[in-house]
Amino acid sequence: MTVVDDGKGMDEAELVRAQDPFYTDGVKHRHRKVGLGLPFVIQTTKMTQGRFQISSRKGHGTVVTATFNQAHWDTPPLGDLPATLGQLMALGGDQEVVVHRTLRGPKGVRTWEAKRSELRDALGNLEDLQSVTLLREYFRSQEEELVEVGTTSGGKK
């Protein structure tokens, strides 16, 4: 899984601190001393012999790559990906989100891509119950077409 953003980016010192569970920038919640998002990913990849990489450029953005070892006992299940992606797209705001999925299987390679701006164009307000419902169905159908090529391995961006 690779997550790329074109946000504020971090310098080297910030990048190291961001991987510490007892660090947060304190912007969203003052006095708070924990920031668990990245540390959770790092812990999960470490304990299951996966891989984790992060790089960032101040003022340009950040790239996070996590590779999960599906053969390891302690690798958590992927969960309900269509529901997760539906919720990701339904998160309020004007941000663009592009999800790219690739599955390589015995019958070849298949990919799909979804842009939040296009989904909003088709559905209107993405926070409506109807939109949240249809987003989930949309991603479910995209995933079903993907799985036709066979075994699981892939990424999202």
Partner 1 sequence: MTLQELRAMREKGQKAMDRRVGGDKSIEIIVGMGTCGIAAGAKEALNAFVDELNSKDIRNVVIKQVGCMGFCHSEPTVEIKMNGMPDIIYGNVDAETARKIVHSHILEKKLVDKHVFDRPSLDILKKTGKEN
What does the binding site for partner 1 look like in residue numbers (CB under 8 A)?
28-31, 36-37, 40, 79-80, 83-84, 87, 90-92, 118-119, 121-125, 127-134, 136-138, 141-142
**Least distance in angstroms from the C-beta of 76 to partner 1:** 11
Cβ proximity to partner 1: between 76 and 106 the closer is 76
User: Residue-wise over 63-73: b if at least 16 C-beta within 10 A, else e?
Assistant: bbbbbbeeeee
Cβ proximity to partner 1: between 16 and 122 the closer is 122
Contact between 64 and 53 under an 8 Å Cβ cutoff? The reply is yes
Q: Please give the DSSP secondary-structure letter assigned to residue 93.
A: S
Helix (H) or strand (E) holding 137: helix 129-147
The Cβ-side half-sphere exposure at 44, using a 13 Å CA radius, reads: 16
Cβ proximity to partner 1: between 68 and 138 the closer is 138
Q: Two tokens at 2? A: 């690779």
**Least distance in angstroms from the C-beta of 12 to partner 1:** 24
**Least distance in angstroms from the C-beta of 75 to partner 1:** 17
| Region class of 31: left (phi > 0), else alpha (psi between -120 and 50), else beta | left
Cβ proximity to partner 1: between 77 and 92 the closer is 92
**Least distance in angstroms from the C-beta of 80 to partner 1:** 7
